[in-house]
Chain A
């Protein structure tokens, strides 16, 4: 057995999900060390061009199951099972996202294989893959190895970066017989956008507001900044308690846990009840007028100053940069 098969998720227009592209890049890197092919599995009627295009990220072959519907996990389990067994892949790799979890888990049962999820990094040890995954609310990282083959690796959201290394993949069509139960779930509506929900968990950029804002109306400063940056607004428990912002935006020990690319903390002290909800953000920028605020101990960039002066100017500057 050799090689890694990556599931490549796409939307109804045939655009591939960036986490899937990241997983393909990761697979390409890894097969360089453990041998075999990095291949992708695509379901649905996706064009030859689009499939071949996955070669740019390092896939040498793309298996396409035209008749298998996209969007639900179980038919894809059937497809991946077939390809893995027939081609003898050693590992199945998924980029972060819901479907990857469901397909990977289904494959675990189907193949009697080991699975690790929320993987943040993959390394090679003695010619085998070892998955690193955080546990216990990110307080530790476990190195997980596999017994036998294949092994299933499900990445955490944004764990793998897509890298274009150039190339074109060979597209191979496969026929898949669906299991009886794979036909029992039908997609009625896919990918509906809902405006009213405050979804802060998926935002790449969050502007968090805390007591330092001073009053409920100052949340406007956060909203304006979030808007020009294409992000969402979050809040600490203290201000939600005070009625300045809705509970749905609350981050912390009681509230949501987030790990966006950027967390801009405005007027937030960084007490542990809030910290545990956002400490894994990739980049933390803090603005607070108290130089002793705990947030400065774990922020990547700290500004000691008055947010009422800084935020509006920052908003203007970013707007100008984006527009100009």
Chain B
């Protein structure tokens, strides 16, 4: 069968669906000063910084009204939908809370003092000496981004921010090409979208400034990019999927570990670029995960199952032996880097910050601190603008701040590091090293980022290697979803948009790709070998990682409060 690209089967979704003017009567609209969509590091750093700045601007604070800053978060609590490694550069936290020493940051497990990178083969682990500089994490702090969300939200609430959790933002309110705010999602619809007995419609939230910090999925953000032409000249965004587990272990781990190689295949034919991380979480826990680009070509490749396979390697087994799995999470990371960022970070009334603006340095595994810095720049820009002219909607000063910041600098320096890796590990590795050695000068030029969905897929043999779950070391996807605390309503409307009758290769790609077993090909069609199959969607399994958007479908937002309740990812 010739390989086929998922992009040939675009999802039934029109970005125009999520953009429009306010529809509530003016007296019913909820007025806030600044509306921030997303309770992640970017959004919450922005919220905290705003209140800090407004403490010195009593006039402006009063003008912003009863609710000066509101954060709209779709998870049950901020942090419920956050997943990352993560070894975080302390600069952002130090900038936001200069009086709080890192030892006292609640989400932190330890400062990284020792790190090592290994190349794995099927049975061995070769330390890479000298370790690749982009994986050096000394001086950073290992933390849980899920706990970071809770901590930043707590600080924000103490400072007077309204955190509206269990609330999704489903529409960007735009009038005369000015962003006026967002509309919150309806709650209480049935499977067919019908209004149930306890239906509660969303509400228009209007604000002087709207900050979109939606994270990797960027539901409203990407629609806004289209509408306002903010990505003209940018490369398409690409994503990597990370699947992570947290284990209680009897033996503490003394170093931060990254691995390359097995179980990913090195040949450029498979485009399996990525690697794993294994981090200590204090004395009694470790976390580890596999992060792989979503441009893989084998339709049977599954990051979730490759991670199960990864655990059977003697090197990994030694670390988690005698332990118990206590956490699981999955999320995508934008990997396009510099060339895939939008050309503009603001339009009248709106600013974009963090992962949804592509502010991730995937080559150096960093994104959390950039998100927080961006959130703080957004806060500064908003206060500067509104202080000068309360009726202004021009936040171009934010663009200038980003362009002059380490976000721009670091992403530019690593602008061509990721792309070569899709040409195979050997070639890519060489190019990446060259980039690091020359601080970004070589190779120069512009290595284009490829759209994940445009890459043709075919049925391969990756799936043959995955172990049968033994429920002690290895697990199946449903057990993993259970561990994520996912408690989505069974009769909720389906929020996943895909074409449901597609070639087998495309269907199989989605089935394997999804870490939560949302997609299934009916058994009889699997066995029949038909070239075209139906795809059955169990939307209530979805942990909102965003992979489907990268690979030809579209993740829209389920009702607020749905999805996982991550604790420590």
Chain A residues packing against B (C-beta within 8 Å): 237-238, 240-241, 247, 250, 253-255, 271-273, 292, 294, 297
Contact = CB atoms under 8 A, between A and B. Distances in A.
B482 A294 contact: no
Shortest Cβ-Cβ A-B pairs, 6 listed: A271-B478, A272-B482, A254-B490, A272-B479, A273-B482, A237-B490
A214 to B, nearest CB: 8
A238 B517 CA distance: 12
A271 B538 contact: no
Interface string B449-490: 000000000000000000010010000101100100001011
Contacts of B538: 238, 241
B540 interface: yes
17 contacts: A238-B538, A240-B490, A241-B490, A241-B540, A247-B490, A247-B491, A250-B490, A253-B482, A253-B487, A254-B489, A255-B490, A271-B476, A271-B478, A272-B478, A273-B482, A292-B468, A297-B471
Contacts of A294: 471
Interface string B486-517: 01011100000000000000000000000000
Contacts of B489: 254
A66 to B, nearest CB: 47
Contacts of B476: 271
A278 to B, nearest CB: 15
A272 B478 CA distance: 8
A140 B503 CA distance: 48
A191 B479 CA distance: 41
A297 B471 CA distance: 11
Contacts of A240: 490
Contacts of B487: 253-254
Most A CB within 10 A of own CB, among B468, B487, B490, B491: B490
B134 to A, nearest CB: 39
B520 to A, nearest CB: 9
A1 B490 CA distance: 53
Contacts of B479: 271-272
B490 A273 contact: no
Contact residues of A: prevailing secondary structure: helix
Interface residues of B, number: 12
A271 B476 CA distance: 9
A201 B490 CA distance: 20
A93 to B, nearest CB: 37
A6 to B, nearest CB: 40
Nearest to A252: B490
Given A271-B478, A294-B471, 9 more contacts: A238-B538, A240-B490, A241-B490, A241-B538, A253-B487, A255-B490, A272-B479, A272-B482, A297-B471
Interface in B404-456: none
A94 to B, nearest CB: 34
Contacts of B490: 237, 240-241, 247, 250, 254-255
Contacts of A297: 471
Contacts of B468: 292
Contacts of A272: 478-479, 482
Given A241-B538, A292-B468, A294-B471, A273 B478 contact: yes
B285 to A, nearest CB: 20
Contacts of B482: 253, 272-273
Contacts of B491: 247
A241 B539 CA distance: 10
Contacts of A292: 468
A237 B538 CA distance: 10
A220 B478 CA distance: 28
Contacts of A255: 490
A292 B554 CA distance: 34
B357 to A, nearest CB: 36
A235 to B, nearest CB: 12
Most B CB within 10 A of own CB, among A247, A250, A272: A272
A317 B336 CA distance: 65
Contacts of A271: 476, 478-479
A147 B539 CA distance: 51
Nearest to A238: B538
Nearest to B489: A254
A255 B540 CA distance: 14
Nearest to A250: B490
Nearest to B477: A271
A292 to B, nearest CB: 7
A254 B487 CA distance: 8
A187 B478 CA distance: 47
Contacts of A254: 487, 489-490, 540
A253 B471 CA distance: 19
A194 B122 CA distance: 63
Contacts of A253: 482, 487
A262 to B, nearest CB: 25
A255 B482 CA distance: 14
Nearest to A294: B471
A253 B482 CA distance: 9
A250 B490 CA distance: 11
A86 B476 CA distance: 61
